[in-house]
Amino acid sequence: MEFLSGFARTPAVFLGCYALGLVSGCTGTIGGGNGQPTDTPNGQVVPGGIGSNGPNGLSSLPTAEACQKRAIEPGPAPMRLLTAQQYLNTIHDLVGDVPSLASVFAGVNGDSALGFVQADVGQVEMEAFQKAGDLVGNTVSADATTLSTLAPCAGADKRSCARTFVQTFGAKAYRAPITDSADIERHLLVFDAGATTSYEQGIGMMVSAMLQSPRFLYHVEIGTTDKVADDAVKLSGFEAAARLSYALWNTKPDDKLTAAAAAGMLSSKEGVAAQVQWMLADARGQTMVRRFLESWIHLSDVDALVKDKTLFPQWDGSTLKTSMVDQAHAFFDDILGAQGGRLASLLTSTTVFANKDLAPYYGAATASTNFQPVQPQGAVATSGLLTLPAFLSTLAKPDESSPIYRGKFVREQLLCQLLPPPPPIVPKAPEVQAGGSTRDRLKQHEVDSSCSVCHQLMDPIGFGFENYDALGQYRSTDNGQAVDASGEITAPSDIAGKFNGVVALGQKLAGSKAVQECMARQWFRFMQSRFEQEVDACSMTAIVDKFRANDNSLNSLPLALIQTDAFLYRRPLDSKVSP
Amino acid sequence: MNRPPVVDSRTRISRRRLLRGMGATAVALTSPIWRPATAFGASAPGRAAKRFIGIFSANGTIPSAFFPSGTAQDSPLTFGRILAPLEAYKDKTLVLKGVHMISTIGPNKPGGPHMKGPGAMLTGGSLLPGSFSGAQGPAGWADRASVDFAIRERIGGTTTFKSLEFGVRTIGQEPLRCISYGGPSLPNLPVQDPWAMFTRMFANADLSSTQLKLLMAQRKSIIDFLKDDISHLKARISNSDKARLDAHLTGVAGLEQELNNAANSCTPPMMPAKIDPGALGNFATIGQLQTSLMVLAHSCNLTKVSTFMWSNADSWQFFPFCGVNEEHHGLSHSGDNDAVANEKLVKINVWHAEQVASLLDKLAAAPDVNGGTVLDNTLLLWGNELGVGNSHTYKDIPWVMVGGGGYFKTGRYLQYKDQPHNNLLVSVCNAMGMDDVKTFGIPELSTGPLPGLTA
């Protein structure tokens, strides 16, 4: 059997107990509630966020009325690097296709486990920026068509042409106008060095230099002097445009949005909100909510999943992996489109899409490689995301299901509760008898109270998924025994109680206020690239209220977020707390 | 909750201090602050190492097969089964017991046990709070610079790279994948792909001297622009963001150093046809390739400081090439009385010792530009994230040191009574000629060098 834990999220839990913590360090108390996330150098915080997890698992957000009386509070907005995808998208928008650029950038600026924590740059990254900058610069200077578009030069005064290029290209690359003459002159020194060879060379070198500038590589925000509260200022129009475009498109602003910024249309809350509709309708915006959901469930991990070759010979070298990912795309498109984006649909939808690879999952048959709705046969139960094969395969081991991973997902990603860390030193692992069902083997840990104190938070939820094996295929028996899919959500939770099977779990989750609030939190984290903090309480209230007012439609989240203090403003440079 | 201690002001090697040292980069590269190790402090010439190599392997050891027998505090070295492959280097080796990674322990220290170890091994510090979650408990990166970084800032200024970080299949949650840090939240992640490392090491090897000269001139103009650009930007942004730009500026200085030392005296070796560095079954092959490149990096004087991670901490590697086709971390949790499992773990640890021996063979065969062999001038430190896998203990980390340029009295087995590994890191600095280093990592844990080590 081969085993590979290639994805950052999945812990190396090996039959449970010791890896998840026991005894003194693990009291069974779920974190996330003291409302005091801790700032670290890059503005990273301990997850857990605001409010307190009382016995019902709900946080205590202020009411909208209370927020009306509070001062605007944007929270911290530390400077971040473009992600690898943002880098590639932005280059594409600037100069078009650059062959093999992605390979130069492979492994650089990758999203972290949760996509939020960003280390400072290291030498390997710097070398990649240099190499990529040179590659783009050389591509531009070698291509007459691109060059004549970006840096046309008919006259004899080449340096004057280069000066124009600094301003036109620089404004796009830096997402801000370049007007300072000394600034322009600094760029032209690079041109001069290249122009001893040729005009093209000078332009290419400036492209490389500009793409290595922090003004290109980071989301640089200065803010304005226009105070909206003691500790909050408006963004400049160009900064607002960049926030909008990277949030909704994952790339730089286009000419239309830049023009809106230049015309002062983004200086008000209403002006910013007015951009959302057309931006989401644009091709770049249409997939953004889906991108959130796929990032949230780590869909891209499917590609690197290793499954046991003996038990699942169909896994390696077939199209099953790709089909699972495509099925997830189709599922999310259906939820967000035809089903109106409701959170309840995400968790309970019975519409299933399959092609020839996945039809057998549902007792159906088709020869088509395209995805079509199919009717599950027999006992095969479906409940939206919770029975999506890509989701279930990711949250499983190579050779068996994993009630731990699955229960943990529900606890951390759907209820937004943080499990306690394990103690520094664990007692000896309990002896576990081989054979029997996965459930039976995990249950043996319950006899050890030091194990069960934490596992009772996860395993009983995960047992509800036991009708689905390591590839997310429905089963009625596990290792010769009838599957027992009875489960329980233990307190703290607003949906605490027993349930039987994943359909019942889906119903419970769909009716949970905590899950609604958690989706709003996940959205905040995705869009703001940081965890919510106590100071974001009113931003969270605004999102949750708008989400609920729109029948908990995921499609309402972009606009809800964009109208929060956290999105619209930033702390001034001289803020008493960290900006 | 209090703000976490980012860096204690009393820490000798703090990021702030290092960055200050880096601040005036242009000056730094032309002024003699990059003193050769032997010229620094009070060490007599020939009694300090000129190169440092840090090695990491995962999931603890089997103490009964690792530590020599006997109870004497200081005894001549006789290897147990695990270290037997190092027999040819016994006279150059020190094995230490009783040196604990105390810096991982304490109330409210973030991270699970497998995460804490790699962050502490070379830093003598702890993990910051952060959002790397999973079963190992939420944590961030390590909270301070590591010893290899401190060394490279002292002796690494004249080579192409200040340091190079090698790894083989370092996967999983971020803090598991890194032992080298430039400061708090400043990981120097290892490069896992030997072909990518080769490209870095011999980037301009195929250029003619004219072409190289032109490239250097062009790159210099861009680097000058970047330094200028960054300083102007720095004046406009918030204080907390300035630290990020400082890190970026350090990176630009690194590019400048690569440029200034671009001429490479070595002819690049032929690389074999590419295979997947991430594949489970290629672990041994990729490891050997990386080992060869690391030796080359030193013998070509591309760097004086390197680290090498044999998989990430908490390693889930299988070891069919030594007859153990099972998953390392799972195995490491077997009970003390499980003789079958313990035998397998011994085999895995022996295999790692064989890899270290193979590295030593290559270092011993490579002439050093400073004279002698590369091994003659090298201090190698081999550590682990844990003492024993099944209890996650931070005590009795299986430390091995080889070489040290004559600074240590080697060929011995030393048993300490509860020494913090911070003191070991002080000894490492001292052996590199950094006599001014009196504490390392968390200062209140560090009382000075380990006693009784020096020649």
What is the SS3 assignment for A450-492?
HHHHHHCCCHHHHHHHCCECCCCCECCEECCEECCCEEEECCC
Q: Average pLDDT of B329-343?
A: 90
pLDDT in tens, A125-152: 999 999 999 999 999 999 999 999 999 9
Given a cut of 90, is residue A72 above it in pLDDT? yes
**Is A8 within 8 Å of A112 (Cβ atoms)?**
yes
Place of tokens 């003789």: B339
Q: Confidence class of residue A63 from pLDDT cuts 50, 70 and 90?
A: very high
Q: Confidence class of residue A97 from pLDDT cuts 50, 70 and 90?
A: very high
The whole-angstrom separation of Cα A135 and Cα A125 is 15
Terminal-to-terminal C-alpha distance of chain A: 50
Q: Confidence class of residue B43 from pLDDT cuts 50, 70 and 90?
A: very low
CB-CB neighbors (< 8 A) of A213 in chain B: 225-226, 229
Task: Write the ipTM.
Answer: 0.84
Number of Cβ pairs < 8 A linking chain A and chain B: 258
Select from B111, B131, B232 the Cβ nearest to the Cβ of A47: B131
- Relative to beta strand A486-489, strand B318-319 is unpaired
The pLDDT assigned to A575 comes to 83
The whole-angstrom separation of Cα A222 and Cα B84 is 60
CA dihedral A320, A325, A331, A335 (to 10 degrees): 170
Which residues are within 8 A (CB) of B421 and not within 5 positions of it... i.e. 6 or more apart?
B99, B100, B101, B102, B103, B120, B121, B124, B383, B397, B399
The pLDDT assigned to A139 comes to 96
Q: Confidence class of residue A427 from pLDDT cuts 50, 70 and 90?
A: low
Which residues are within 8 A (CB) of A67 and not within 5 positions of it... i.e. 6 or more apart?
A537, A538, A541, A542
Select from B222, B245, B392 the Cβ nearest to the Cβ of A426: B392
Residue B404, Cα to own-chain centre: how many angstroms? Answer: 15
Q: Average pLDDT of A248-254?
A: 96
Nearest chain B residue to A118, by CA: B185
Nearest chain B residue to A120, by CA: B186
**Is B13 within 8 Å of B437 (Cβ atoms)?**
yes
The Cβ of residue B23 has, within 10 Å, a number of other Cβ atoms equal to 13
Does A79 sit within 8 Å of B390, measured CB to CB?
no
Q: Confidence class of residue A110 from pLDDT cuts 50, 70 and 90?
A: low
Of A475, A464, A463, residue with least CA distance to A505: A464
Q: In this predicted model, which residue has the larger pLDDT, A94 or A47? A: A94
- Minimum mean pLDDT range among A50-54, A338-342, B339-343: A50-54
The whole-angstrom separation of Cα A173 and Cα B177 is 33
Chain B contact present for A93, CB below 8 A: no
CB-CB neighbors (< 8 A) of B390 in chain A: 18, 428-429
Chain B contact present for A220, CB below 8 A: yes
CB-CB neighbors (< 8 A) of B232 in chain A: 183, 186
Where is A80: in which H helix or E strand? strand A80-81
The whole-angstrom separation of Cα B200 and Cα B296 is 13
* Residue B415 C-alpha, separation from nearest chain A C-alpha, in angstroms: 23
Q: Confidence class of residue A14 from pLDDT cuts 50, 70 and 90?
A: very low
The whole-angstrom separation of Cα B38 and Cα B15 is 25
Task: Give the SS3 label for residue B450.
Answer: coil
CB-CB neighbors (< 8 A) of B227 in chain A: none
- Minimum mean pLDDT range among A44-58, A243-257, A486-500: A44-58
Which residues are within 8 A (CB) of A228 and not within 5 positions of it... i.e. 6 or more apart?
A72, A234, A569
Nearest chain A residue to B314, by CA: A12
Cis-peptide into A492, omega within 30 deg: yes
Q: In this predicted model, which residue has the larger pLDDT, B400 or B217? A: B400
Residue A386, Cα to own-chain centre: how many angstroms? Answer: 18
Of chain A, the percentage scoring pLDDT greater than 90 comes to 66
CB-CB neighbors (< 8 A) of B3 in chain A: 38-39
pLDDT in tens, A140-183: 999 999 999 999 999 889 999 999 999 999 999 999 999 999 99
Q: Average pLDDT of B201-224?
A: 88
Chain B contact present for A40, CB below 8 A: yes
- Relative to beta strand B74-76, strand B378-384 is unpaired
The pLDDT assigned to A451 comes to 67
Query: Which of B238, B303, B319 would you mutate first to test chain A, the one with the most A CBs within 10 A?
Result: B238
The whole-angstrom separation of Cα A390 and Cα A353 is 13
Place of tokens 């703001």: A528
- Minimum mean pLDDT range among A440-449, A554-563, B273-282, B354-363: A440-449
Nearest chain A residue to B130, by CA: A46
* Residue A154 C-alpha, separation from nearest chain B C-alpha, in angstroms: 25
Strands annotated E in A210-296: 218-219, 227-229, 232-234
Given a cut of 50, is residue A274 above it in pLDDT? yes
Does B251 sit within 8 Å of A3, measured CB to CB?
no
The pLDDT assigned to A83 comes to 87
CB-CB neighbors (< 8 A) of B6 in chain A: 40-41
Residue B295, Cα to own-chain centre: how many angstroms? Answer: 14
| CA-to-CA dists, residue A381 to A163, A350, A362, A550, angstroms | 65, 8, 9, 29
Task: Give the SS3 label for residue B165.
Answer: strand
Does B172 sit within 8 Å of A213, measured CB to CB?
no
The pLDDT assigned to B46 comes to 56
* Residue A27 C-alpha, separation from nearest chain B C-alpha, in angstroms: 14
The pLDDT assigned to A306 comes to 82
Of B121, B125, B120, B140, residue with least CA distance to B56: B121
Select from A6, A42, A125 the Cβ nearest to the Cβ of B185: A42
pLDDT in tens, B77-114: 999 999 999 999 999 999 999 999 999 998 878 888 88
Query: Which of B153, B213, B240 would you mutate first to test chain A, the one with the most A CBs within 10 A?
Result: B240
The whole-angstrom separation of Cα A168 and Cα B177 is 42
Does B254 sit within 8 Å of A14, measured CB to CB?
no
CB-CB neighbors (< 8 A) of A2 in chain B: 280, 318
Of chain B, the percentage scoring pLDDT greater than 90 comes to 67
Q: Average pLDDT of B126-143?
A: 77
Q: Confidence class of residue A566 from pLDDT cuts 50, 70 and 90?
A: very high
Q: Confidence class of residue B44 from pLDDT cuts 50, 70 and 90?
A: very low
Query: Which residues 105-124 in chain A show a CB within 8 A of chain B?
Result: 107, 112-114, 116-117, 119-124
Buried b (16+ CB within 10 A) or exposed e, A315-343: beeeebbebbbbbbbbbbbbbbeebebbb
The whole-angstrom separation of Cα B387 and Cα B393 is 5
Q: Confidence class of residue A5 from pLDDT cuts 50, 70 and 90?
A: very low
The pLDDT assigned to B133 comes to 63
- Relative to beta strand B412-420, strand B93-100 is parallel
The pLDDT assigned to A56 comes to 65
The pLDDT assigned to B45 comes to 52
Q: Confidence class of residue B10 from pLDDT cuts 50, 70 and 90?
A: very low
The pLDDT assigned to B324 comes to 93
What backbone phi and psi angles, to 5 degrees, belong to A159?
-65, -30
Q: Average pLDDT of B153-180?
A: 92
Does B131 sit within 8 Å of A114, measured CB to CB?
yes
What DSSP character marks residue B157? T
Chain B contact present for A434, CB below 8 A: no
| Chain mean pLDDT for chain B | 86
Nearest chain A residue to B172, by CA: A8
* Residue B342 C-alpha, separation from nearest chain A C-alpha, in angstroms: 14
The pLDDT assigned to B420 comes to 98
The pLDDT assigned to A317 comes to 82
The pLDDT assigned to A448 comes to 65
The whole-angstrom separation of Cα B35 and Cα B41 is 10
Of A135, A276, A103, residue with least CA distance to A211: A135
Query: Which residues 186-205 in chain A show a CB within 8 A of chain B?
Result: 186-187, 189-190, 192-194, 197, 205
Q: Confidence class of residue A401 from pLDDT cuts 50, 70 and 90?
A: very high
**Is B204 within 8 Å of B212 (Cβ atoms)?**
yes
The pLDDT assigned to A578 comes to 67
Does B329 sit within 8 Å of A123, measured CB to CB?
no
Does B241 sit within 8 Å of A79, measured CB to CB?
yes
Task: Give the SS3 label for residue B322.
Answer: helix
Select from A14, A408, A420 the Cβ nearest to the Cβ of B329: A14
Of B52, B102, B47, residue with least CA distance to B416: B102
Nearest chain B residue to A196, by CA: B218
**Is B115 within 8 Å of B392 (Cβ atoms)?**
no
Of A208, A217, A172, A170, residue with least CA distance to A190: A208
| Chain mean pLDDT for chain A | 85
Given a cut of 80, is residue B178 above it in pLDDT? yes
What DSSP character marks residue A412? I
Structure tokens that stand for B166 in this block? 């090698």
The whole-angstrom separation of Cα B407 and Cα B453 is 9
| Residue A482: strand pairing partners | A477
Nearest chain A residue to B393, by CA: A425
Q: Confidence class of residue A19 from pLDDT cuts 50, 70 and 90?
A: very low
- HSE, side-chain direction, 13 A CA sphere, residue B298: 34
CB-CB neighbors (< 8 A) of A21 in chain B: 112, 135, 137
CB-CB neighbors (< 8 A) of B333 in chain A: 14, 18, 429
Does A78 sit within 8 Å of B241, measured CB to CB?
yes
Does A3 sit within 8 Å of B327, measured CB to CB?
yes
- Minimum mean pLDDT range among A360-364, B55-59, B241-245: B241-245
Given a cut of 60, is residue B7 above it in pLDDT? no
The Cβ of residue A107 has, within 10 Å, a number of other Cβ atoms equal to 16
The pLDDT assigned to A440 comes to 85
Which residues are within 8 A (CB) of A438 and not within 5 positions of it... i.e. 6 or more apart?
A400, A401, A402, A403, A466, A478, A479
Select from A117, A218, A579 the Cβ nearest to the Cβ of B132: A117
pLDDT in tens, A222-234: 999 999 999 999 9
Answering whether pTM is above 0.90, one says no
Of B415, B410, B414, residue with least CA distance to B91: B410
**Is B130 within 8 Å of B427 (Cβ atoms)?**
no
